[in-house]
């Protein structure tokens, strides 16, 4: 064996040893971990523009629905969507045969938006604006395609539309314009639902646009009583005081959510010699979202 052969063998042996050392020896630490995906409603400010309008909610957290004209697959997807949102939030959903709050129907024909298939359509159909909330009184869902995912993403997407949520800018969020199976309901959406429905379902009577003038001993006044709550009000009483003395009472019939009643008084006799202050008070025995807006005090402009 020549010296060249010996050197080649030694070189080969060194290479084998170095390769073994490279593969076996812990030269450096390598950390492996789960890469967290951002599922927030927005990629930037997750609290901005989440709903079509601010504070959109149904009057109560228990919401009725009816599913009809749907094959079993789509009906099952929608029922699972109701169950998932119910399990993740304070909301609950129950089926009815009529007078439903959420109307669910199906379409067997595929629809296209450019190169993409439309999977479903949904949103509020009846919204009443109050000073506290945009109250959803009805919504509709049209399921066009069955979900191809283990989770009924299409049904959840359209249900969240009915609950007032707009499209998200985050492709990982279930409210993104285009649906994929790996999208998720973000925690900020679930937290928003629970926050909105933490307010109890009460009426909220308030006095608005009150004005008054005295003509000698006679009072003229205009008063508007509104219901800005989440429940139709029962009958109430408007009481008018002149310097803390009751001078007149009026019965007010129940008011629907977002509705009001204007009361016009003319030539109401006031027996006090000199009136410095008028007070209008709505007396309501039931719980309300707020009681402090049931009273207005006015100083009288005398002619």
Q: Looking at residue 115, what DSSP letter applies?
A: T
Select from 69, 64, 57 the least CA-distant residue to 99.
64
The reply to whether 86 and 183 lie within a common domain is yes
Structure confidence by residue, pLDDT tens digits, 198-230: 999 999 999 988 998 888 888 899 999 999 999
Q: Which 3 state secondary structure label does DSSP give 171?
A: coil
Residue 116's pLDDT is what? 43
Last residue of a domain, one of 196, 227, 255: 196
Residue 57's pLDDT is what? 98
Q: Is residue 87 part of a domain?
A: yes
The residue ranges of the chain whose pLDDT is under 50 are 30-34, 46, 112, 114-118
The reply to whether 190 and 211 lie within a common domain is no
Residue 104's pLDDT is what? 95
Residue 302's pLDDT is what? 57
The reply to whether 239 and 181 lie within a common domain is no
Last residue of a domain, one of 163, 196, 229: 196
The reply to whether 212 and 165 lie within a common domain is no
The reply to whether 210 and 231 lie within a common domain is yes
Residue 261's pLDDT is what? 95
Q: What angle do CA 208, 211, 217 make, to 5 degrees?
A: 140
3-state secondary structure 29-88: CCCCCCCCCCCCCCCCCCCCCCECCCCEECCCCEEEEEECCCCHHHHHHHHHHHHHHHHH
Q: Is residue 213 part of a domain?
A: yes
Q: End-to-end CA distance of the chain, in Å?
A: 131
205 touches 191 (CB < 8 A): no
Q: Is residue 166 part of a domain?
A: yes
Domain count of the fold of the chain: 2
Select from 229, 149, 213 the least CA-distant residue to 185.
149
Q: Is residue 178 part of a domain?
A: yes
Residue-number span of the structural domain to which 294 is assigned: 205-302
Residue 119: how many other CB atoms lie within 10 Å? 21
pTM of the model: 0.81
Structure confidence by residue, pLDDT tens digits, 16-35: 666 665 555 555 554 444 45
């Amino acid at each position: 064996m020549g010296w060249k052969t010996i050197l080649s063998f030694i070189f080969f042996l060194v290479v084998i040893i170095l390769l073994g050392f490279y593969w076996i020896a812990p030269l450096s630490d390598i950390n492996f971990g789960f890469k967290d995906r951002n599922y927030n409603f927005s990629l930037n400010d997750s609290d901005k523009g989440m709903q079509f309008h601010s504070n959109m909610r149904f009057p109560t957290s228990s919401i009725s629905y009816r599913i009809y004209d749907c094959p079993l697959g789509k009906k099952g997807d929608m029922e699972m969507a109701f169950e998932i949102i119910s399990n993740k939030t304070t909301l609950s959903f129950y089926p009815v045969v009529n007078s439903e709050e959420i109307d669910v129907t199906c379409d067997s024909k595929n629809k296209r938006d450019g190169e993409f298939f439309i999977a479903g359509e949904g949103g509020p159909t009846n919204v009443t604006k109050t000073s506290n909330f945009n109250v959803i009184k009805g919504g509709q869902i049209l399921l066009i395609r069955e979900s191809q995912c283990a989770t009924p993403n299409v049904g959840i997407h359209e249900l969240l539309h009915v609950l007032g949520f707009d499209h998200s800018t985050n492709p990982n969020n279930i409210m993104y314009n285009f649906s994929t199976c790996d999208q998720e309901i973000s925690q900020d959406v679930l937290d928003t639902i629970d926050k909105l429905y933490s307010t109890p379902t009460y009426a909220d009577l308030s006095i608005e646009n009150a004005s008054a003038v005295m003509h000698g001993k006679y009072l003229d006044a205009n008063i508007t009583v509104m219901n800005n709550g989440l429940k139709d009000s029962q009958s109430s009483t408007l009481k008018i005081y002149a310097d803390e003395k009751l001078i007149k009472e009026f019965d007010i019939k129940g008011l629907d959510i977002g509705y009001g009643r204007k009361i016009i008084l003319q030539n109401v006799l006031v027996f006090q010699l000199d009136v410095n202050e008028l007070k209008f008070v709505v007396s309501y025995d039931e719980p309300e979202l707020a009681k402090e807006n049931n009273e207005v005090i006015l100083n009288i402009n005398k002619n």
